[in-house]
């Protein structure tokens, strides 16, 4: 499966969202500056505060002791507090603390924007590498930004462009873990609904767009461009909160988390192990259960997850997810031949797929044809 096919939904999401942002930036140039500064800006900031703080409250209430949800809750809480402070000074001070898009944007204001950008990366960091982030690592990530600010004040060089680009380094660092996370999910689960990397990539795309719009309004020196960043931030908070609330945690979903089944001494050659595994798969049809996991095979082959994953890789040249889907597609073909009256949704459910859409996508990726195209071919033969 090529990258475009694998991440088609992410690419489509990114293209549509980017087009909306570009269109909004263009339309915002027609907003009168006086109207934006006196009415639209404070209203949108108030909406951002309300969405961020209420979203944080909802997330913390339904965190269920999941660190990735708590990370998103803290993100919105920090953002809500910062924007609340901005609103307070906007209303009480004789002039704005920060004029969006102003030509005299200071280094400290850039630093504040970068810190908020770093906060946005807490959730994908926890989702991709659970438990990795701590206070020490957070300090090491923030230290270069503080050092650049200090250098900008100490020496006669304009380091503001470098400071504004620093979050790009952190995003690039996160992208290096996407493939490893996706492989880990495929090695342990037969169904990737609500745990695969697609949503994390969409979140990171939104984070990158927020940063790009912020940099653009700093360079273009047109305050009304801030309209785009404000509504887009609100959209990101609402959309992300809804998605994260219903997202599963693959790291804690494994049965008996943290307790691997002890490895037994097995003298059987791999060929015998293959026969035993394949006989069990064909007889018991465990793949018909959408919640079928790699750890379930431990009861058959007396291996822990690490050895099972290595065994499937070496013997079948694929991940557990791909291995199971091969059996599901074989079963789907058998059912269609023996029971042509069955509908696609009935076959997908009987074979362990979570939905007809997932079944059709998987069928096409393995056979090169949609289920209906394959059925027509069989019927005409």
Query: Is residue 256 a part of any domain in this protein?
Result: no
Q: Would you state the pLDDT for residue 30?
A: 92
Beta-strand runs (E) in 211-366: none
Query: CATH code at 360?
Result: 1.10.10.60
Query: Is residue 168 a part of any domain in this protein?
Result: yes
Query: Is residue 265 a part of any domain in this protein?
Result: no
Regions of the chain with pLDDT less than 70:
1-6, 93-105, 254-269, 381
Query: Is residue 127 a part of any domain in this protein?
Result: yes
pTM of the entire structure?
0.84
Query: Is residue 258 a part of any domain in this protein?
Result: no
**Number of domains composing the chain:** 2
Residue span of the structural domain in which 370 resides: 270-380
Residue 321 and residue 192 in contact, taking contact as beta carbons nearer than 8 Å? yes
Q: Would you state the pLDDT for residue 262?
A: 46
Structure tokens at 302: 């007396």
Shared domain check, 300 and 188: no
Residue 174 and residue 121 in contact, taking contact as beta carbons nearer than 8 Å? yes
Residues making up the chain, counted from first to last:
381
Q: Would you state the pLDDT for residue 341?
A: 87
User: Could you give the CA distance from residue 95 to residue 234 in angstroms, rounded to a whole number?
Assistant: 25
Q: Which residues contact 41 (CB under 8 A, 6 or more apart)?
A: 90, 100, 223, 226, 227, 230
User: Could you give the CA distance from residue 123 to residue 113 in angstroms, rounded to a whole number?
Assistant: 17
Q: Would you state the pLDDT for residue 150?
A: 86
What does the pLDDT look like over 254-283, one tens digit per residue? 654 444 554 444 555 677 888 888 899 999
Q: Would you state the pLDDT for residue 307?
A: 84
User: Could you give the CA distance from residue 355 to residue 345 in angstroms, rounded to a whole number?
Assistant: 7
Shared domain check, 310 and 234: no
Shared domain check, 348 and 277: yes
Query: Is residue 260 a part of any domain in this protein?
Result: no
Query: Is residue 19 a part of any domain in this protein?
Result: yes
Q: Select from 203, 219, 250 the last residue of a domain.
A: 250
Shared domain check, 246 and 134: yes
Shared domain check, 333 and 216: no
Query: Is residue 79 a part of any domain in this protein?
Result: yes
Q: Would you state the pLDDT for residue 15?
A: 95
Residue 191 and residue 291 in contact, taking contact as beta carbons nearer than 8 Å? yes
- For 154, other C-beta atoms within 10 Å of its C-beta total 9
């Amino acid at each position: 499966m090529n990258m475009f096919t694998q991440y088609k939904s992410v690419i489509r999401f990114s293209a549509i969202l980017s087009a909306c942002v570009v269109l909004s930036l263009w339309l915002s140039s027609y907003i009168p500056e006086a109207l934006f500064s006196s009415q639209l800006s404070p209203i949108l900031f108030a909406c951002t505060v309300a969405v961020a703080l209420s979203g944080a409250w909802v997330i913390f209430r339904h965190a269920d002791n999941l660190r990735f949800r708590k990370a998103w809750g803290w993100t919105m809480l920090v953002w809500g507090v910062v924007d609340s402070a901005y609103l307070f000074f906007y209303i009480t001070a004789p002039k704005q603390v920060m004029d969006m898009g102003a030509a005299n944007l200071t280094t400290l204001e850039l630093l504040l924007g970068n810190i908020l950008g770093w906060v946005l990366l807490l959730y994908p960091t926890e989702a991709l590498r659970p438990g990795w982030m701590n206070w020490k690592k957070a300090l090491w990530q923030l230290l270069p930004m503080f050092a650049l600010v200090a250098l900008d004040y100490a020496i006669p060089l304009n380091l503001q462009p470098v400071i504004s680009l620093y979050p790009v380094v952190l995003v690039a660092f996160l992208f290096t873990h996407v493939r490893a996370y996706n492989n880990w999910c495929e090695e342990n689960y037969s169904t990737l609904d609500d745990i695969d990397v697609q949503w994390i990539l969409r979140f990171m795309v939104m984070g990158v767009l927020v940063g790009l719009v912020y940099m653009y309004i700093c360079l273009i020196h047109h305050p009304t461009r801030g309209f785009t960043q404000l509504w887009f931030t609100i959209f990101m908070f609402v959309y992300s909160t809804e998605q994260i609330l219903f997202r599963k945690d693959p790291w804690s979903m494994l049965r008996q988390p943290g307790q691997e089944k002890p490895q037994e001494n097995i003298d059987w050659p791999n060929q015998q192990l293959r026969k035993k595994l394949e006989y069990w798969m064909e007889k018991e049809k465990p793949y018909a259960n959408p919640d079928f996991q790699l750890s379930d095979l431990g009861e058959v082959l007396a291996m822990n997850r690490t050895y099972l994953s290595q065994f499937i890789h070496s013997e079948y040249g694929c991940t557990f997810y791909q291995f199971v889907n091969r059996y599901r597609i074989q079963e789907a073909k058998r059912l269609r031949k023996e029971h042509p009256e069955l509908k696609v949704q009935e076959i997908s459910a009987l074979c362990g797929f979570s939905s007809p859409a997932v079944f059709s996508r998987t069928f096409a990726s393995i056979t090169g044809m949609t289920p209906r195209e394959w059925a027509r071919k069989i019927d005409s033969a």
